Amino acid sequence: MKVDDFDYALPEAFIAQHPVTPRDASRLLVLDRTTGEMNHHQFRDIDRFLRPGDILVANNTRVIPARIFAQKPTGGRVEILLLERKNDRSWTGLVGGRNIYEGLELTLLDRAGGQAAIRATVSGVGNESQRDLIFSQPVESWLEVLGYTPLPPYIHEPLDDPERYQTIFANPAGSAAAPTAGLHFTPDLLLALRDQGVLLEMCTLHVGLDTFKPVTVNVVADHVIHSEWARLTPESARRINDAVLAGGRMIAVGTTTVRVLETAALRSAGLSGSYRDISQRDATGETANICPWKPVAAFEGSTDLFIFPGYRFRAVDGLITNFHLPRSSLLMMISAFAGRDQVLKAYDEAMRQKYRFYSFGDAMLVL
């Protein structure tokens, strides 16, 4: 399977630069993955397609102000995007600038451009602009003073309110990007769904490097996906399993939630360690003994699960998602869930209907 199979042409005018107000006024394309039928609604109409007993599972991670600026000893200015915390003072990040070598000491800058009393030393050089950094003191306490919300590179206009790039249920801080499918929910909508008998549960996945890493290989299975830290608590796992056993459907809010739930289902199936090649093994029949549904197991740690067509979903029954970039691992995941041809057909229809794409864009419900 080629990466080119997941390409499509999107005129720049379709890329949303601002979120809509209110959040649930965004549009919603509803796709029946069995019949291919499509319908058009507003997101606040999602209650029409959910049943009492269904359980929504959302990612409650919070985006940190992880975009910071620093100065080299030569006076040159660099931009740092913090991606993954290693320990109290060590992070992995993307560093934009020339000649960023191991051992280079950087002085962080405040928002006025002055030098702050905290430094970072490059301790390792990764692929392209990826660097390991050791800070002179814990950097988290400085981020609210020095940092900026790290909007995706395709958003070229400033965001008036940084909270619009946070979900209303964002709590544990740690992401370099928002789980954007959750941006469409409002408190009133959640209350209405609760009154309807729809359940809500949370998991956590801190969005990291792979959100910013393009798929550069030619063959999908050759792509090495970055691992991300995730957590599903025992209490949440129990409530999710109870809901499904009672007849409810498990609806994942976003691709990051899919990654958590499917990792949790693989763990409950006795598959542990690296999940790098699960999709390929599924496609070749090497996991044919695994039943269609597995309960989810609580876990905390990293997941490297890469879902692309051929993967057999073990947990998720439905998916709420935004419209994703061409040739991206996220588009491959949606294609695994609903079929590549059907998804690309839905994307064509969304463009015909003038939907807004990417992080601040409209949503799709796949059932």
For residues 240 and 238, what is the distance between their CA atoms, to the nearest angstrom? Answer: 5
366: its two tokens = 């796949």
Sheet containing strand 55-59, edge to edge, reads 38-42, 27-31, 363-366, 318-322, 250-253, 55-59, 199-205, 228-232, 299-303
For residues 126 and 226, what is the distance between their CA atoms, to the nearest angstrom? Answer: 13
- Residues 185-199: tens digit of each pLDDT: 999 999 999 999 999
61 CB-contact burial (10 Å; exposed 0-12 / middle 13-18 / buried 19+)? buried
Distances (CA, A) of 319 to 223, 247, 250, 256, 359: 23, 17, 9, 11, 16
For residues 83 and 336, what is the distance between their CA atoms, to the nearest angstrom? Answer: 27
343: its two tokens = 């998804």
Pick the CATH number of 67-146 from 2.40.10.240, 2.40.30.20, 1.10.10.1110, 3.40.50.11540: 2.40.10.240
In the 8-state DSSP scheme, what is residue 184? G
9: its two tokens = 């042409």
What is Dmax (Cα atoms) for the chain? 64
285 CB-contact burial (10 Å; exposed 0-12 / middle 13-18 / buried 19+)? exposed
Do 3-63+163-366 and 67-146 fold alike per CATH?
no
- Domain limits, the chain: 3-63+163-366, 67-146
CB atoms within 10 A of CB 215: 21
Give me the tens of pLDDT residue by residue for the chain, a chain 367 residues long.
Answer: 999 999 999 999 999 999 999 999 999 999 999 999 999 999 999 999 999 999 999 999 999 999 999 999 999 999 999 988 889 899 999 999 889 999 999 999 999 899 999 999 999 999 888 999 999 999 998 998 999 988 888 999 889 899 999 999 999 999 989 999 999 999 999 999 999 999 999 999 999 866 666 788 999 999 988 889 999 999 999 999 999 999 999 999 999 999 999 999 999 988 766 787 888 888 776 554 445 688 999 999 999 999 999 999 999 999 999 999 999 999 999 999 999 999 999 999 999 999 999 999 999 999 9
97 CB-contact burial (10 Å; exposed 0-12 / middle 13-18 / buried 19+)? middle
> Is it true that domain 3-63+163-366 has CATH number 3.40.1780.10?
yes
- Phi, psi dihedral angles at 59 (to 5 degrees): -90, 120
Name the β-bridge partners of 202.
Answer: 58
125: its two tokens = 């050089």
